[in-house]
Amino acid sequence: MSSKKPDFPEHFLDNVGKPLKKSVLLNGYSNFKIGGKADYFFEATSILELTKSILLAREHSFPYFIIGAGYNLLFDDDGFRGIIIKNNVKGITKREKEEEIEALAGTPLRGLIQFSIDKGLSGFEFLAGIPGTVGGAVFSNAGAFGNSIGEFLKNAEILNRKGKRVKVKRDYFEFRYRHSVLSEKYDVFLRAVFELHQGDKEEIKAHIEENLEKRRSNHPPEEVACAGSYFKNPVLPDGERVSAANFLDKIGAKDMRVGGAAVYRGHANFIINKEKASAQDVLRLAKELKGRVRERFDIDLEEEVIFLSAGSSTP
Ligand SMILES: Cc1cc2nc3c(=O)[nH]c(=O)nc-3n(C[C@H](O)[C@H](O)[C@H](O)COP(=O)(O)OP(=O)(O)OC[C@H]3O[C@@H](n4cnc5c(N)ncnc54)[C@H](O)[C@@H]3O)c2cc1C
């Protein structure tokens, strides 16, 4: 237990108006179902709670880390020496302009898709089957089938490093393949306006069902503990982005396992928690996979899954 700042929980209660939870097991907050105890845990249900808790942690130089639904995260076996702030601030509204939707960062992607179907708005069909929140998706510019969420973001509100809530436009995020500026600037993403286009409800639903069917053919079913594709698709020297799974397949990844962590049989780029895996099992397996791909193809795979080590802190 971190004892560096014993008065932090009291300050937290005074400022945020709700108590911190102590010694919380993180394995329930990541779809990998792995992770030891965080010293402190707080679930924010309003933007005010979210911003106050982050500003307080920053003010006290108390290590913190913000999470959405934990579908792209691997927690450490030793948990986290600081406070995990779970963003559960959700809500969707339709804007005056017909094609626009505004969503808070903690809104589940599933809700966002359903809302757009109900309003007959097309664009988010590619998101069907990607689990998590709007915040997590914007952080990594989540995507599939050639589309990514950043393309549809018109403007947003963030809490910047100076502690100010500011409005920013799409360009601010510098969206690229599985990348946004949030991972460099450590702003907190609060809400966004997305611009879609009018569509036919039945066509939107059919397109979604088609996408879900494609996923079912090679992605693990919902109950499998994992965090999606483990590695980003690499770029070849000629600039072409190619599937990481192809290289992983060729090095025999699907037969590989370390402790309780294994590569999913149906897709070589998914590491799964097969049987009480530890974070160390997953990391060792990932290292082995990377090493073999480098050795055989001279390609450096980069992790898409985010590992939060116990002693790290958001700068
Ligand atoms: C079966 C499966 C399939 C998947 N398929 C895809 C896919 O096709 N395409 C794809 O792109 N991803 C895919 N993923 C990965 C995952 O669903 C996405 O990355 C998703 O966007 C994660 O959202 P989350 O809320 O769970 O984020 P988390 O895992 O909780 O967090 C991820 C990162 O986002 C940051 N973050 C979260 N909220 C905020 C915020 N409000 N402000 C600032 N930073 C924030 C966190 O600090 C963390 O660094 C898949 C995962 C699984 C398990």
148-192 pLDDT tens trace: 999 999 999 999 999 999 999 999 999 999 999 999 998 999 999
75, 30 contact by CB (below 8 A): yes
Q: Is 131 in the pocket of ligand 1 (CB under 6 A)?
A: yes
Q: Is 182 in the pocket of ligand 1 (CB under 6 A)?
A: yes
Q: Whose CA is nearest to atom 51 of ligand 1?
A: 228
Query: Domain 92-204: which CATH class?
Result: alpha beta
Confidence label for 97 from pLDDT (cuts 50, 70 and 90): confident
Between the CA of residue 293 and those of 250, 252, 288, what are the distances in Å? 9, 10, 9
What angle is formed at CA 131 by the lines to CA 128 and CA 134, rounded to 5 degrees?
90
Pairing of strands 37-44, 80-87: parallel
Q: Is 199 in the pocket of ligand 1 (CB under 6 A)?
A: no
Q: Taking 60 as the threshold, does the pLDDT of residue 114 lie above it?
A: yes
Confidence label for 4 from pLDDT (cuts 50, 70 and 90): low
Q: Taking 80 as the threshold, does the pLDDT of residue 307 lie above it?
A: yes
Q: Is 142 in the pocket of ligand 1 (CB under 6 A)?
A: yes
User: Is residue 195 annotated as a catalytic residue, yes or no?
Assistant: no
| Residue 230 CA, ligand 1 centroid: distance in Å | 12
What angle is formed at CA 208 by the lines to CA 206 and CA 214, rounded to 5 degrees?
105
Q: Is 105 in the pocket of ligand 1 (CB under 6 A)?
A: yes
Neighbouring C-beta atoms of residue 90, cutoff 10 Å: 17
User: Is residue 257 annotated as a catalytic residue, yes or no?
Assistant: no
242-289 pLDDT tens trace: 999 999 999 999 999 999 999 999 999 999 999 999 999 999 999 999
Q: Taking 60 as the threshold, does the pLDDT of residue 1 lie above it?
A: no
| Residue 240 CA, ligand 1 centroid: distance in Å | 24
Q: Taking 70 as the threshold, does the pLDDT of residue 2 lie above it?
A: no
32-72 pLDDT tens trace: 999 999 999 999 999 999 999 999 999 999 999 999 999 99
Residue limits of CATH 3.30.43.10 in the chain: 8-87
Q: Whose CA is nearest to atom 27 of ligand 1?
A: 136
The CATH number of the domain covering residues in 220-308:
3.90.78.10
Q: Is residue 80 within a helix (H) or strand (E), and if so which, with residue range?
A: strand 80-87
198-232 pLDDT tens trace: 999 999 999 999 999 999 988 999 999 999 999 99
Residue whose pair of structure tokens reads 């993403």 in the numeric block: 189
Q: What is the pLDDT of residue 3?
A: 43
The CATH number of the domain covering residues in 8-87:
3.30.43.10
User: Is residue 278 annotated as a catalytic residue, yes or no?
Assistant: no
Residue limits of CATH 3.30.465.10 in the chain: 92-204
Q: Whose CA is nearest to atom 33 of ligand 1?
A: 136
Q: What is the pLDDT of residue 237?
A: 87
